[in-house]
Amino acid sequence: MILVTGGAGFIGTNFILDWLALHDEPILNIDKLTYAGNRDNLRSIEGDDRHVFEQGDIADARWVMGLLEKHQPRAIINFAAESHVDRSIHCAENFVQTNIVGVFRLLEAARAYWSGLHGDKRAGFRFLQVSTDEVYGSLAPAAAAFRETDRYEPNSPYSASKAAADHLVRASHRTHGLPVLTTNCANNYGPYQFPEKLIPLMINRAIAGQPLPVYGDGWQVRDWLYVKDHCKAVRLVLEAGLPGETYNVGCSDERHNIDVVKAICVLLDELHPRIDAVTYMNQITHVADRPGHDTRYAIDPGKIKVELGWHAEKNFEDGLRETIRWYLQNQGWVADVQNRSVAAR
């Protein structure tokens, strides 16, 4: 069995669904079920004995330790995180509590559990921290893409909290020998993403006839990674990554935010045209830029390609089309998660 934290969130959901489609090995899924965690994401595997769900907080080390002793997982994959930059700007405390304190306590529970293992079980245990490219800061337009050896220079409370977590993971390996792995990924998109992130936000505001707010001039650059390609990378790192190593995961597919929004509009004009036949691009509006907005992110995936044989299978155009189709076909899911988010405030 493996233990997955945050498995009712966006990336965690996709990871679990893909894992159980490919493996018979069961998963223990622990999730706090905050506004972005949704058990309905996993309705298709309801009743599957390979999926064990427990609601709780990774910051509760005693509770986590009890689960580790009961289920004896061979690995922990930590997807649990507060992840929306805008929310971190307005209220950073939740990010500190989950992304720093929570990861520290999860590491402590993992270390205590691992210390009690013997032989092959001890040698084979892994703790995989799923992190972000944002810890590296902002790139100049002509600068080389982020590599694993680049210095951390986080610029938002969110990225600072993820950077702190990554440092704690590294320290657990260097100080205590805990066999850890870290992945730093590009911007993910795909099914089940909470509609506060750029792509689902624009899809759902567009079809609701609302303005499509673009920060500043929209010339911020991001590297886009289809979520299932990311999940494949995590599986490979868990299987063959070297303890103590970091692997950057990206598609080398950089796009300006405004171009992403326009691409969404073009596809919606085709797949879900407005009743008045006017293009969705008319709904684009420019708003004041986000404080401390990073100019550019780009990931160099050379290491994971060479060492583990990973490569992205989905290009952005195909991935975006699939993503838009999913949201159009799952408007009930969108309404439900938005209503639960409002109720939780």
* Cα separation, 204 vs 196, whole angstroms: 10
Question: Tens digit of pLDDT for each residue in 210-222?
Answer: 999 999 999 999 9
**pLDDT > 60? residue 338:** yes
Mean pLDDT of all residues in 281-296: 95
* Cα separation, 135 vs 184, whole angstroms: 8
- Kind of pairing between the strands at 126-132 and 180-185: parallel
Domain ranges of the chain: 2-189+225-251+298-312
**pLDDT > 70? residue 331:** yes
**pLDDT > 70? residue 344:** no
* Cα separation, 302 vs 244, whole angstroms: 18
- Indicate which residue of 31, 57, 82, 133 is catalytic: 133
- What is the reported pLDDT for 305? 98
- What is the reported pLDDT for 4? 98
Neighbour tally for 118: CB within 10 Å? 7
Question: Tens digit of pLDDT for each residue in 127-138?
Answer: 999 999 999 999
The pLDDT confidence band at residue 343, using thresholds 50, 70 and 90, is low
Distance of CA 97 to the CA centre of its chain: 18
Side by side, the strands of the sheet bearing 27-31 are 51-55, 27-31, 2-5, 75-78, 126-132, 180-185, 246-249
The string of DSSP codes covering 80-105 is -----HHHHHH--HHHIIIIIIIHHH
Mean pLDDT of all residues in 8-34: 97
Look up residue 243 and give its amino acid. Answer: P
- Indicate which residue of 158, 226, 247, 297 is catalytic: 158
**pLDDT > 90? residue 342:** no
Residues in CB range of 277: below 8 A, 6 or more apart? none
Question: Tens digit of pLDDT for each residue in 33-56?
Answer: 998 899 999 999 999 999 999 999
* Region for 290 from its dihedrals, namely left if φ exceeds 0, alpha if ψ lies in -120 to 50, beta otherwise: beta
Question: Tens digit of pLDDT for each residue in 146-176?
Answer: 999 999 999 999 999 999 999 999 999 999 9
Question: Tens digit of pLDDT for each residue in 85-102?
Answer: 999 999 999 999 999 999
Question: Tens digit of pLDDT for each residue in 223-266?
Answer: 999 999 999 999 999 999 999 999 999 999 999 999 999 999 99
Query: Dihedral sign, CA of 11, 15, 16, 18?
Result: positive
Give the predicted TM-score (pTM) of the model. Answer: 0.96
Domain 2-189+225-251+298-312 top-level CATH class: alpha beta
* Cα separation, 221 vs 230, whole angstroms: 19
Distance of CA 164 to the CA centre of its chain: 17
Look up residue 134 and give its amino acid. Answer: E
- What is the reported pLDDT for 340? 72
- What is the reported pLDDT for 339? 83
Mean pLDDT of all residues in 306-322: 97
Would you state the torsion angle of the CA atoms of residues 302, 312, 16, 25, taken in this order, to the nearest 10 degrees?
-70
* Cα separation, 235 vs 185, whole angstroms: 14
Window from 21-25, 125-129, 335-339 with minimum mean pLDDT: 335-339
Catalytic residue list contains 192 = no
Catalytic residue list contains 215 = no
Catalytic residue list contains 134 = yes
Q: What is the mean pLDDT of the chain?
A: 96
- Indicate which residue of 31, 57, 82, 134 is catalytic: 134
Mean pLDDT of all residues in 18-26: 97
Of all residues in the chain, the percent with pLDDT exceeding 70 is 99
Q: Are 130 and 249 in contact (CB under 8 A)?
A: no
